[in-house]
């Protein structure tokens, strides 16, 4: 009941904004939300978050529209959006809103086609769904990175790397205290630069049997549920990575600012729903990953790891610098996962081949490689959103003056990006 009342208050506030901006786009936005919810009845992974009117979800559940009906409605919405293009003199954020909606509907139709059996190559699918294509890397690029690691970890690199990393596993009985220390540090640094609405918060759960390592389930009302998968050993660097990526200034802050600035302040109801397989995800994942570097530049991160995270995990802080030097070398292999996914989705290799590629060129342990292949089975070309997304966001923020040497500007541009409907193609 409380949630319904809060939504009613929000809708009342929206009405004022609607009158000022005109109802046409708001009506199209409502059609879009209902369309996403309708498709979500067929695709369990599609609707990542929804906190709009509960009756819209109930209608989607009761009507259970067919794929053909959903596609017909999407085509009609595309045409309506084409005729509603705002003039060039319109406020930039309003023009961004229109472009965003059009691209999101396009992506919905592509995802529907994939779910109903259409075969797309990895690159065609990623462009259609996420508005971006990951660069192709020759295997020689990864071989060179592995050779560089070999000078630090002689012998069979994967075995030596796993042996080296085993010293930095967070003991299970110290996971929660370690994550709490990381969350506290990430939140403190974020709040020094970004004002968040009162009452925002999230809870953390530890889960198993997932294809991912962490997930943010945004609940609306400025609340998130963050789940951490404990199937595999969790290394000490993942504490800050997950706390930033899923929480501050990552997914939690991203969703909170969209709800505050676009849904509540402007009445743009389309942002009350988040379809996972859409251009929005590249922005969400890219900013969440780059947000780690924004909150913790390299030297500051190592200092914080030594003072707070390693002690919380019961690990020797003296090894922090050496550990992160090795991780920096391994990071040169980040795009190897994309190549594995590209070959796997394009049917050039099978699941066993994809796992072997990840072990050889991404230095994944066999269990971790198997988990990643399950992720590819479930999410397909979504993998580009993490590394390509981060790189695109980084270039965009730095092109606006948000360089590492100008932390204040970096935070300002970062906040503007996660408070707007900008698309991946708009980051160029």
- For 8-41, the pLDDT digits (tens) are 445 444 444 444 444 789 999 999 999 999 999 9
d(CA 238, CA 206): 14
**So what's the pLDDT on residue 1?**
37
Closest CA relative to residue 220, chosen from 2, 1, 3, 417: 3
Buried b / exposed e along 384-405 (16+ C-beta atoms within 10 A): bbbbbbbbbbbebbeeeebeee
Q: What is the pLDDT of residues 347-371, one digit of tens each?
A: 999 999 999 999 999 999 999 999 9
The pLDDT value recorded for residue 134 is 96
Residue 154 has what pLDDT? 78
Q: Decide the pairing of beta strands 214-220 and 223-229.
A: antiparallel
For the segment 213-270, what is each residue's pLDDT rounded down to a tens digit?
999 999 999 999 999 999 999 999 999 999 999 999 999 999 999 999 999 999 999 9
Percent of all residues in the chain with a pLDDT value above 70, rounded to a whole number: 95
Of 150 and 246, the structure prediction assigns the larger pLDDT to 246
- Compute the residue count for the chain: 428
Look up tokens 């085509």; give the residue. Answer: 75
Cis amide prior to 227 (ω within 30 degrees)? no
In this predicted structure, the answer to whether residue 104 has a pLDDT above a threshold of 60 is yes
Say if CB 18 and CB 41 are below 8 A apart. Answer: no
What average pLDDT does this structure show over 304-321? Answer: 97
**275 bridge partner residues:** 47
pLDDT score, position 2: 37
Q: How far is CA 161 from the centre of its chain?
A: 27
pTM over 0.85: yes
């Amino acid at each position: 009941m409380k949630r319904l009342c809060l939504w009613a208050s929000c809708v009342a506030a929206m009405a004022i904004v609607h009158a000022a901006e005109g109802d046409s786009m708001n009506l199209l936005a409502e059609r879009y939300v209902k369309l996403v919810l309708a498709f979500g009845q067929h695709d369990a992974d599609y609707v990542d978050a929804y906190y709009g009117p509960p009756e819209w979800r109930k209608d989607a559940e009761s009507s259970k529209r067919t794929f053909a009906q959903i596609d017909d409605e999407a085509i009609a919405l595309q045409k309506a959006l084409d005729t509603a293009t705002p003039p060039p003199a319109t406020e930039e954020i309003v023009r961004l809103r229109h472009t965003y909606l059009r691209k999101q509907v396009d992506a919905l139709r592509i995802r529907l086609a994939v779910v109903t059996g259409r075969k797309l190559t990895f690159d065609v699918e990623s462009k259609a769904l996420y508005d971006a294509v990951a660069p192709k890397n020759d295997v020689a690029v990864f071989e060179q990175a592995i050779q560089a690691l070999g000078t630090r970890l002689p012998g069979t690199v994967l075995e030596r790397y796993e042996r080296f990393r085993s010293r930095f596993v967070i003991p299970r009985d110290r996971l929660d205290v370690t994550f709490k220390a990381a969350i506290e540090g990430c939140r403190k640094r974020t709040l020094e630069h970004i004002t968040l609405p009162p009452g925002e918060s999230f809870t953390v759960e530890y889960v198993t049997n997932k294809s991912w390592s962490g997930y943010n389930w945004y609940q609306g009302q400025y609340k998130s549920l963050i789940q951490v998968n404990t199937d595999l050993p969790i290394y000490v660097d993942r504490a800050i990575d997950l706390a930033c990526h899923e929480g501050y200034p990552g997914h939690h802050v991203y969703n909170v600012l969209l709800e505050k600035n676009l849904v509540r302040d402007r009445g743009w109801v389309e942002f009350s729903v988040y379809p996972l397989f859409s251009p929005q995800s590249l922005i969400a994942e890219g900013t969440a990953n780059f947000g780690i570097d924004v909150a913790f530049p390299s030297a500051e991160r190592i200092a914080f790891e030594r003072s707070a995270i390693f002690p919380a995990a019961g690990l020797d802080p003296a090894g922090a610098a050496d550990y992160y030097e090795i991780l920096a070398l391994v990071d040169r292999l980040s795009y190897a996962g994309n190549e594995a996914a590209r070959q796997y989705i394009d049917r050039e290799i099978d699941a066993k081949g994809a796992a072997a590629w990840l072990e050889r060129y991404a230095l994944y342990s066999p269990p971790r490689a198997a988990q990643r292949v399950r992720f590819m089975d479930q999410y397909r070309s979504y993998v580009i959103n993490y590394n390509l997304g981060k790189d695109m966001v980084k270039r965009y923020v730095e092109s606006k003056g948000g360089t590492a040497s100008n932390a204040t500007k970096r935070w300002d541009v970062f906040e503007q990006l996660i408070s707007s409907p900008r698309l991946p193609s708009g980051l160029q």
